Amino acid sequence: MKEIEADEFLKRSREFPVVDTRSPAEFASGHIPGAVNLPLFENSERKIIGTLYKQQGKKEAIKAGLRITGPKMLGFIEKVESLRSQNVLVHCWRGGMRSQSMAWLLELYGFDVWIMKGGYKAYRNALLEFFKNPPQLRVITGSTGSMKTVLLKKLREMDEQVVDLEALANHPGSSFGNQVSTGQPSTEQFQNDLFADFFSLDPDRPVWLEDESFSIGKVHLVEGLYRNMQLSPHYLVLLSREKRIDVLLSEYGQIPKDKLVQAVQGIAKKLGKNLANQAIECVHNDKLAEAVEIILNYYDRAYSKGIQKKQDLVLGPFHLNVENMEETAGKLINYRK
């Protein structure tokens, strides 16, 4: 077995399977995208071993660990065989006994094994360090309903490097996004997925992102990335209020009334009691366009306040051609060049 640093481990993970020997609970909290969980100990077993280690020492913990893992060894080998790779990458939390034990078994059987030095903790440290100085960022900004996500997809089709934060968060943002999201990953997993996306890109080429708050639904951006986004060029895209209302109706108009009301209630304090009540009444009376018009009072005001703080970074504006998004995307690309 060979120990390698986290960055080399991640490079090799593009070719070879990653085996995560941590407990299922640790794995569920956050893991390297694509990794296979092969826990040396189940959640309850890990707790037993940890208690023994603290109360009776290392040797007793090792004996108990051997009693637990002994019957599992054949299953471990068969699971790794099913991955159909002679080369295997293994890690645990700190690169200690769990990964070392699994690597020993797999190597004894005949696999070529690499262990991540420092384990998953080192991976998370590498993630945080990476986002302190990410590739050049290009941020697309614009009022709610300005089709920024559609524009990002068009940029990707035109061979630009794009990271879709809302797709990774499984949440389109805002109180209304809560009503259409089918469930979000943990913040830790979201950040891991984000790191994987960035790590797969060319670091010498810029990356396009959508302007976002630090939180997208219930998950949070990596602080280093968010900080760098706030210091990066912002490409301002404009779409008429009338067309933005149409966009928002197409995105959220099919949400059941009770959930729309719940979304309005989620921003009632910021919208104001009277306007919130007016919007809710419009929802109940199937006057959704009027409800959106009212709600945009809050979102447009909040956006205007936020973008003014970054006015020196704003480029454009770029007027969206809804019938030809490629034309708008081309303008952004050419302006950058």
Task: Show which residues are catalytic.
Answer: 92
The per-residue DSSP string of 61-98 comes to HHHHHHHHHGGGHHHHHHHHHTT--SEEEEE-SSSSHH
Task: Pull the structure tokens for residue 110.
Answer: 């005949």
Tokens of 38: 């092969």
Neighbouring CB atoms inside 10 A of 281's CB total 14
Strand pairing of 219-220 and 215-216? Answer: antiparallel
φ, ψ of residue 224 to 5 degrees: the values are -65, -40
Amino acid found at 3: E
Q: Which residues contact 82 (CB under 8 A, 6 or more apart)?
A: none
| Rounded distance between C-alpha atoms, residue 76 and residue 81, angstroms | 9
| Cα–Cα distance for residue pair 88/5, rounded to 1 Å | 15
Which tokens belong to 31?
Answer: 């893991």
The two three-digit tokens of residue 59, written as one number: 């040797």
35: number of Cβ within 10 Å: 18
> Which residues, listed in sequence order, are joined to residue 138 by a DSSP beta bridge?
208
Q: Are 230 and 311 in contact (CB under 8 A)?
A: no
